[in-house]
Amino acid sequence: MDLPNVQTYLRPADLESVKDWQQGWAWLSGGTWLFSQAQPNITTLVDLEKFGWSEIEVTPDGLAIGAACIQNQLLEFSWPENWQGTKALESAVSHLGSFKVSHIATVGGNICLALPVSTFAPVMIALGATYEIWHGGFAYRVRALEFQTGVQQTILQPGEVLRKIWIPASNLEWQTSFQRICMASDGYALSTVVAAFNSQSNQVRFGLGACVSTPRLVEFTSIPTAGDIADVLDEQLPLHDFVEDDRGSASYRRQITQVLMERSLFELCHP
């Protein structure tokens, strides 16, 4: 849609050229969300495209994904065979289910948009990703778990930009399961559960999304029973932490999340 409030479009060649960040400025990546609804508070779009931040790099330390990597690039990449964890990244793309969006939208755009239903956020949390953030000439890293602070809220300060996502090689060797449930066969998720399982140590990490307003991590040092899962959810995620809206009650989301956690364990531990 047209964005009548936008008066200026900037397309800088590099980050150093972006000076004096002002109120009303917003980074533009794929633009799939920015152009999907009115943006009354945005007056200037700063396009990331010329920065060339769309790399997918396999290094001895792990995986680096440029923030402007188009989501569909993840489906086309040839991953190292032992990186079973990359299946969860592919699921984050395929569960979006929209050809139009996934061919234009970027991984960084999805993460920075910080929707509770983000398909990427629980994957990044389950895989222990860290995010590299730039503020002018200064860079720092933050755990994926600490990035999103609320519904469409992140730790990013005005002018800060997500540059890269890092996932350690050892975590990418974990097996993963991506479970998501919607009201109908598609649409906004009621709960997304991404499980990562280390078959040598039996450690399990769950990234939870959609059922809660900010993605959460639940960890076990050995394969949990259904009772263990119920106990940990009760301890770490009280009912008021679950989203309650006209698509589903908090108690329904709590229950269905537990079912998805059990289902993913069954898939991973009884292949």
Ligand X SMILES: Cc1cc2nc3c(=O)[nH]c(=O)nc-3n(C[C@H](O)[C@H](O)[C@H](O)COP(=O)(O)OP(=O)(O)OC[C@H]3O[C@@H](n4cnc5c(N)ncnc54)[C@H](O)[C@@H]3O)c2cc1C
Residues engaged in binding ligand X (CB under 6 A): 26-34, 36, 48, 67, 96, 101, 105-106, 108-110, 112-113, 115, 117-119, 156, 161-162, 188
d(CA 74, CA 56): 8
In 181-213, which positions are buried (b, 16+ CB within 10 angstroms) versus exposed (e)? bbeeeeeebbbbbbbbbeeeeeebbbbbbbbbb
> Can you read off the two tokens belonging to residue 129?
């990703």
* Nearest distance in Å: CB 24, ligand X: 12
* Nearest distance in Å: CB 110, ligand X: 3
Beta bridge partners of 175: 197
- Of 153 and 225, which has the nearer Cβ to ligand X? 153
Supply angle C-alpha 11, 114, 216, rounded to 5.
Answer: 145
* Nearest distance in Å: CB 222, ligand X: 31
* Nearest distance in Å: CB 192, ligand X: 9
Residue facing ligand X at closest CB distance: 109
- Of 34 and 233, which has the nearer Cβ to ligand X? 34
Q: Which residue has the tokens 């402007």?
A: 68
- Of 30 and 224, which has the nearer Cβ to ligand X? 30
- Of 141 and 225, which has the nearer Cβ to ligand X? 141
